[in-house]
Structure formats: structure tokens, C-alpha cells
Amino acid sequence: MELTRRKFLGGAAIAAAGAVVGRRVRRAGGAPAPLKIGLLLPYSNVYAVLGESITDGLSLVFEREGWSVAGRRVELIKEDDEVNPQIGLRKVKKLIESDGVDFLVGPVSSGVLAAIRDTVHQARRILIVANAGNDEISRDRCSRYIFRASFSNWQPNSPMGGWVAAHVAKEAYLVAPKYAAGFDMMRAFKETFGAAGGTVVGEDYTPFPVNEDFAPFLTKIKQAAPKVVYAFFSGSQAVRFVRQYDEFGLRGRSRLCGAGFLTETDVLPAEGSAALGIITGHFYSTLLENRTNQAFLREFRDKYKRTPDGFAVQGYDTAQVIVHALTATGGDTRDRDRLVDALRSVEFDSPRGRFRFDPKTQNVIQPFIYVREVREVGGELANVVIDRIANVKDPGTGCTLPG
Ligand code: BEZ
């Protein structure tokens, strides 16, 4: 009953939006302008698979909408940022100035987001961040034109500091790549770990974006023999780290914990049994039983013949944000203030739970951060939820920058 009503109301809103666009178009005497969405994502290098997952999740929603939103045909313009801030900056300028995109989506790397933030803000172009977690974007470098549908780096890691101290051990060695995301995530973990009586016995930052060999760092960890190692790695670096950790014989000695990206579904099959027992914090697990997640898993598997990951959820949610906001404005993207207001009001059921933005930061409020342990489920590795922390908001207090 509830679904039928929602579907009816959604359909009516879309029909009304179409009529508005239609009226505008009839006056102008042409077809509605396409809705141009610039995807600034990595399609090569360490985070290539993340970029593909985000694109696939996003495409699933637009396909369901018949590649048309509020009467406007959806056009995706894909640019590979190569996980390189300078390349990202060049490509974002091209998307804004030459392609005239209505929305920007991306990037994956905090380094790229830091580089493009001012250009996006000054151009007053709407950016929906679909991964990059730099805390500063929810704090002193926030922008009225930037929304984040993924997470801030603080969000999965701050709850984990207290949880690890209470449930695993009070002595940890930290390791992460040497760039903004690694620093943010370790800082968030340390704050709550220390407050809960934990001690950090060592801390290392590894080369980024290229690093084949973790041996020098694993040697130091072996010598320190900590009770816990807390790590952030993602993409191809997660696979290498987890495998080398096992090869070094550390798996049975120091419990490996970390941010969820370390064992997400994109990397688990390649990590294999080396990942068993790793505990991570993340806003998603494929094992969530809510109806939206069940439908998402079915749709995604039918289309792509693989199991989705949290990055695909981020793409899926980003597209839903665009559909809901555009439906509310009747397809209008020119009146930026109206569009920003519509975006701030967006709310819907996501595979991760109820999706809404925190009005203070324009960053998603995580319905839960799930504490997950890698176990074998039905012959496959999966992130089994063993605990959860509700309603996790970035502590940003509001964007006070002008304009
Ligand atoms: C980041 O750079 O913000 C990031 C990259 C991969 C996974 C999570 C965060």
C-alpha cells in the first residue's frame, strides 16, 4: 500500500515536472536541453575499479528512469582523473567550460577533491561527491554548491576507535597511504581510540598512489608486535596490503582492523582467505536485509553479473539525489539557489538505510556505521555485520564561507 502510494505521488510529480519543461520548451520552440552530467572519476590507476563501480551504480538508476529526468534526456560525459589532482583540475575545467555540464559527479580521491574545490565553488556548479572523503569539505572548505552522497573520512573511522578499544585491544599500530584520506582517517580513529584508553604504538604512511611493496612497513609492524593493526587502503592497494600482511605471518599475531574499504566487495575475491577475520567499519554491507538493498542487489546482479560494493551504492545514491532534486525543480538547473534548496531537502530509501543530507554540512548522515567481520557465507567471503552505531554525522558545524 505504502509503495503504491509513493509510486503514484512520484509519478505525478514527474508528470508535473515534465509539463513545466514542456511549457518552457514550447515557448522556446525546441527540444528540452539534455541534462549533462560530468563524471570526474578514476578509470585508471589504483582506484580504477572504484570509478567503474560508481558509474555502474549511477547508470542503473538512470536506466530505470529511461535515461530521462523531468523531461530532460540524460547525457553522461566521462572523464578519467587518473587519481591525479592536476589532471582532475584540468578535466573539471573542461567539463564546466567546454561541456557546460549541469552536474559534476565524483571524484574518488581526497587529493583530487581538494584540487578542484575552488574551481567548482567559483563556477557555482553543483558537485555531488560520490566518494572522496576529505573532512575539510564538510568543515572549513565547505561550499554551498558541494554535496556529499558518500561519507566524510571521519565517519567510518571515528566510531571504530572506541569500538576497537572496547572490543579488540587497547594497543594499536596505524598504517595508511600518505595523502589526505590516510591522514584524516587515522586522525579520526586516534581521537576516539585514545579517549577510550587506547595507545598508538606506531604509525606509518605509505607511498601513494603507487606502492607495490609493503614489506618495509610490515617488518616494522612485526617487530612492534601490536595487538591490533588499524589500516586504511582501498582498490589495488587494499588487495596488496591484505595479501602481504598474510604472507608476512601477521594474520595470526596482530588483529587487522580498519576502514571498510579494506575489505569491500570490489577487493574481497582477490584477497581471498587472507581477508578472513578482518574487522572494518563501513556504512554498507551487501548482507543488509532491508527491502531497498534486496532490490538493489537483484537489479545490479541482473545487469552486471557481479555483486555490488559500497562504491556502487554511492553511485546509485548520487543518481537518486539528482533525480529527486530535478523532479522538485521541474527540470530547472539554471536557478542555482532553487536547485541547492531542492538538493538540501532530498530524502529517500537507499540500500544503506534512509538517505538525507545534514543541512549543516551537506554531507550524508550515515543511518549506521556497521562493524563488519569477514567470514565465509554460503561458500563466499562477505562482510558480516557484528555491531552497528546509529546516526553518524560529521562534526562539521556549518558552512560560513561567503557565496
Ligand atoms: C579518498 O581519497 O577520500 C578515498 C579513496 C578511496 C576510498 C576511500 C576514500
- DSSP string of 54-115? HHHHHHHHHHHTTTEETTEEEEEEEEE-TT-HHHHHHHHHIIIIIS--SEEE--S-HHHHHH
Q: Which residue has the cell 566518494?
A: 131
Of all helices (H) and strands (E), which one includes residue 26? helix 2-28
Distance 318 CA to ligand 1 centre (A): 16
Instruction: Supply the pLDDT for residue 16.
Output: 39
Instruction: Supply the pLDDT for residue 33.
Output: 96
Instruction: Supply the pLDDT for residue 29.
Output: 60
Instruction: Supply the pLDDT for residue 176.
Output: 98
List per-residue pLDDT tens for the chain, 403 residues long.
223 333 333 333 333 333 344 333 333 567 899 999 999 999 999 999 999 999 999 999 999 999 999 999 999 999 999 999 999 999 999 999 999 999 999 999 999 999 999 999 999 999 999 999 999 999 999 999 999 999 999 999 999 999 999 999 999 999 999 999 999 999 999 999 999 999 999 999 999 999 989 999 999 999 999 999 999 999 999 999 999 999 999 999 999 999 999 999 999 999 999 999 999 999 999 999 999 999 999 999 999 999 999 999 999 999 999 999 999 999 999 999 999 999 999 999 999 999 999 999 999 999 999 999 999 999 999 999 999 999 999 999 977 555 5
Instruction: Supply the pLDDT for residue 259.
Output: 98
Instruction: Give residues (CB < 6 A) around ligand 1.
Output: 47, 108-110, 131-133, 153, 181, 234, 261
Instruction: Supply the pLDDT for residue 399.
Output: 75
Distance 326 CA to ligand 1 centre (A): 28
Residue from 45, 54, 108 whose mutation best tests the ligand 1 pocket (most atoms within 8 A of CB): 108
Of all helices (H) and strands (E), which one includes residue 377? strand 366-377
Q: What is the CA radius of gyration of the chain?
A: 21
Residue from 110, 154, 284 whose mutation best tests the ligand 1 pocket (most atoms within 8 A of CB): 110
Count CB atoms within 10 A of the CB of residue 263.
27
Distance 146 CA to ligand 1 centre (A): 17
Distance 147 CA to ligand 1 centre (A): 16
Its pTM stands at 0.92
Which residue is closest in CA terms to ligand 1's atom 2?
109
Instruction: Supply the pLDDT for residue 28.
Output: 53
Distance 261 CA to ligand 1 centre (A): 8
Distance 24 CA to ligand 1 centre (A): 41
